[in-house]
Amino acid sequence: MPRPRRVISPSIPLHLIQRGNNRAPCFQVQNDYLIYLDMLRECAFDAGCALHAYVLMSNHVHLLLSPDTADSASTMMQRLGQRYVQYFNRRHVRTGTLWEGRFRSSPILDERYFLICQRYIELNPVRANMVDTPADYPWSSYRTNAFGQESPLITPHPVYASLGRTLEIRRAAYRHLFSEVLSEELLDAVRRAGNSNRPLDLQQT
């Protein structure tokens, strides 16, 4: 069965997912997370991708970004994947593949869905019962988006900026969004879109 054709357009936000091969861990020690984030920053800048949100889980990664060109996201993920695998294999004395094939992506064509996808990403550790609140998880963008923790990785999207006139108002409004539970229908819609490389369309929920 042919793979679904990617829908990638310049400046259209993308939800990217990359999993460890056979769901194996792609982060084992703290330094793995730190190295990945440093490489992500460099590769995103070089490829022309503005990163809005991320979460690094033990065996997969979620990214929300806006590419400058149709090739920006693919270029970033290729360079990042190759560099990190080289580091990971050396660090953990292993060989072979680390990632489960190519990354998956879902474009956010309707801005109304942008913050839903961003919340989906940053709530991953809570749904996995790893922490009680997203602020308790150190390997996501939540603390930056919700509290202003300094990060060289994150570029606020205009939808996020529209939450308020000042940084304090925006952050408070963003934190308030997390008091609203994402329904199972919304969660399923985001998962389906990501797994099928298709646009997120909540009209189908």
**Interval 112-158: pLDDT, tens:** 889 999 999 999 999 999 999 999 999 999 999 999 999 999 999 99
Query: What is the rounded (10 degree) CA torsion for 187, 192, 194, 198?
Result: -130
Number of neighbouring beta carbons within 10 Å of residue 164: 14
Helix (H), strand (E) counts: the chain: 8, 4
Question: What is the value of pTM for the model shown?
Answer: 0.92
Query: How does pLDDT run across 62-106, given as a tens digit for each residue?
Result: 999 999 999 999 999 999 999 999 999 999 999 989 999 889 999
**Sequence-separated (6 or more) residues with CB below 8 Å from residue 83:** 39, 43
Q: Which domains does the chain have, with CATH numbers?
A: 14-198 (3.30.70.1290)
For residues 146 and 24, what is the distance between their CA atoms, to the nearest angstrom?
30
Which residue is it, tokens 């409004």?
A: 173
Q: Using an 8 Å Cβ cutoff, are 118 and 105 in contact?
A: no
Percent residues over pLDDT 90 in the chain: 77
Q: Which residue has the higher pLDDT, 52 or 191?
A: 52
